[in-house]
């Protein structure tokens, strides 16, 4: 998307607004019907979801294909309609992240990444994943975790984690969100599996394909070694749960239902062309040079600095110099605003307390360069600042901090800001992402032989086999659809 910087989904998060926790009360769990002690009311859960959802979307970004968004939402709504909270007001979002992940926040907000969509092979599998996340919501698992933390006397386990250490006036900071890194217990996961399998079955999906999801997750985890897919960070033991969900699925169909659907072909139609992996259109590094094709600019970061393309920002640091800087995209309400006028608007809106600097003209863009005084969790900070107008109403904001004004790090930060220029190199600008493509085999053969005949691909044979939840040595009949990842145009 042209309106954001590259987004990478970190580990699964349960996002909570600042809670006004008072006296513990009893409530009835909608999934079990049992009374339980809870510090978090259902109305608070709903408020947490409403307040946190815009921040999640702003931070991680929605996948840009509206057809895929509507499809995932339709499957989720179908599953949620037969849950214990059918009238909750559910929301299902596809996040623009390559990480294999799905998670929920309180109040009926469910997020699934394009990364995990690539690895699923049917609508019924998608229903199983979304049903599992619905189960966490209906069983109020996040409320239970918060309550247990309070009872244990360890607070909310919340750290004021803001993506971008130097952004004192982002939406996240304004809303005061805490990010809760709470792992579900084994009992929570078992219950969510039971509820999710039941919900998918009630929605007329065949639950017997759900265990394949955990088989796939196990192979993805084994392939990636220590870098487990995000879904496994809070959803452990995929091997055990493959067995458990197999048992649950068999019990769910024990009555002999014959109307259950898998809808593999419909699922493949909807994920055809899905972006796979990192999308270079949203920004990429070549050594210390950063290119953003969609926004049409490039810039040079200082030699020796560590750089990171993270959710909605680019961060650079030099530990030995005690310096940091962060690049973000900001928007002006006035599309005609100059950089100087944009800084004045930040002062008028009290997003910054003071500013000293002047307008400059770069080779390609007008800018404002100087210092701003801003308030954050650590008190007031004076930051090196640059605001570069790259389009009407759009400004690249660079904020930096060093040990002292005028030191070597300060000069490097200023030089980096002034290096920002229009991206003209066609080779750097005309890049495209890898994309998923479904090919139907025209003959019988081994998976290895058939896939090898399908032209240049972005994944290895083993990775492609995992993508299809097949074995590379398996014999594949003619007419079998196989997902491959076609190479895009990379820098």
pLDDT digits (tens, 9 = 90+) for 27-67: 566 665 555 544 566 777 788 788 888 877 877 789 999 99
Where does the pLDDT of residue 19 fall: very low under 50, low under 70, confident under 90, or very high at 90 and above? very low
**Angle separating helix axes 66-80 and 264-271, nearest 10 degrees:** 150
Mean pLDDT calculated for residue range 435-447: 97
Where does the pLDDT of residue 225 fall: very low under 50, low under 70, confident under 90, or very high at 90 and above? low
Token digits for 368? 């404002």
Query: Is residue 150 scored above 50 in pLDDT?
Result: no
Query: Is residue 17 scored above 50 in pLDDT?
Result: no
Query: What is the C-alpha to C-alpha distance for residues 482 and 461, in angstroms, rounded to an integer?
Result: 12
| CA distances (Å), origin 298, targets 104, 162, 292, 421 | 36, 26, 6, 6
> Residue 340: is it exposed, middle or buried by C-beta count within 10 angstroms (0-12/13-18/19+)?
middle
Mean pLDDT calculated for residue range 158-185: 36
Q: Which range has the top average pLDDT, 43-47, 304-308, 432-436?
A: 432-436
**pLDDT tens, 323-378?**
999 999 999 999 999 999 999 999 999 999 999 999 999 989 999 999 999 876 56
Query: Is residue 262 scored above 90 in pLDDT?
Result: yes
Q: What is the pTM assigned to this prediction?
A: 0.82
Query: What's the farthest any 2 CA atoms get from each other in the chain?
Result: 77
Query: Is residue 461 scored above 90 in pLDDT?
Result: yes
Look at residue 146 in the predicted model and tell me its pLDDT: 55
**pLDDT tens, 92-146?**
999 998 988 888 888 899 999 999 999 999 999 999 999 999 999 998 877 666 5
Q: What is the mean pLDDT of the chain?
A: 82
Query: Is residue 245 scored above 80 in pLDDT?
Result: yes
């Amino acid at each position: 998307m042209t309106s954001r910087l590259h987004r990478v989904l970190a580990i699964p998060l349960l996002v909570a607004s600042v809670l006004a926790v008072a006296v513990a009360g009893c409530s009835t769990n909608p999934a079990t019907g049992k009374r339980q002690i809870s510090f978090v009311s259902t109305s608070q859960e709903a408020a947490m979801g409403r307040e946190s959802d815009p921040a999640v979307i702003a931070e991680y970004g929605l996948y840009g294909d509206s057809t895929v968004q509507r499809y995932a939402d339709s499957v989720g709504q179908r599953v949620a309609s037969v849950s214990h909270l059918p009238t909750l007001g559910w929301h299902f979002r596809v996040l623009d992240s390559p990480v294999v992940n799905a998670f929920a926040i309180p109040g009926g907000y469910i997020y699934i990444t394009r990364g995990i969509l690539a690895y699923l092979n049917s609508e019924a599998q998608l229903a199983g994943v979304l049903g599992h996340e619905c189960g966490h919501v209906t069983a109020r698992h996040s409320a239970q975790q918060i309550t247990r933390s309070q009872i244990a006397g360890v607070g909310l386990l919340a750290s004021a984690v803001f993506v971008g250490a130097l952004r004192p006036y982002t939406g996240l900071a304004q809303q005061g969100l805490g990010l809760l890194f709470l792992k579900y217990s084994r009992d929570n996961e078992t219950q969510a599996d039971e509820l999710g399998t039941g919900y998918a079955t009630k929605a007329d999906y065949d639950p017997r394909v759900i265990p394949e999801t955990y088989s796939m997750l196990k192979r993805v985890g084994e392939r990636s070694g220590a870098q487990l897919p995000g879904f496994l960070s809070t959803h452990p033991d995929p091997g055990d749960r493959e067995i458990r969900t197999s048992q649950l699925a068999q019990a769910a169909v024990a009555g002999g239902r014959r109307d259950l659907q898998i809808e593999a072909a419909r699922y493949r139609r909807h994920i055809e062309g899905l972006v796979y992996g990192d999308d270079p259109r949203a920004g990429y590094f070549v050594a210390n040079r950063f290119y953003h094709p969609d926004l049409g600019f490039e810039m040079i970061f200082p030699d020796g600095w560590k750089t990171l393309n993270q959710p909605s920002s680019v961060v650079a640091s030099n530990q030995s110099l005690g310096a940091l800087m962060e690049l973000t995209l900001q928007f002006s309400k006035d599309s005609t605003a100059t950089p100087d006028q944009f800084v004045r608007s930040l002062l008028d809106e009290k997003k910054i307390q003071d500013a000293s600097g002047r307008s400059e003209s770069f080779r390609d863009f007008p800018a404002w360069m100087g210092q701003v005084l801003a308030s954050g969790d650590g008190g007031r900070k004076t930051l090196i600042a640059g605001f570069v107008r790259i389009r009407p109403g759009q400004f690249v904001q660079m904020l930096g901090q060093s040990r002292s004004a005028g030191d070597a790090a300060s000069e490097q930060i200023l030089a980096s800001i002034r290096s920002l220029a229009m991206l003209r190199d066609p080779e750097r600008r005309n890049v495209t992402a890898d994309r998923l493509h479904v090919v139907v085999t025209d003959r019988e053969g081994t998976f290895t032989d058939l896939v090898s005949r399908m032209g240049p691909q972005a994944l290895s044979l083993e990775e492609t086999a995992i993508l299809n939840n097949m074995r590379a040595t398996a014999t594949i009949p003619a007419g079998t659809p196989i997902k491959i990842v076609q190479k895009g145009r990379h820098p």
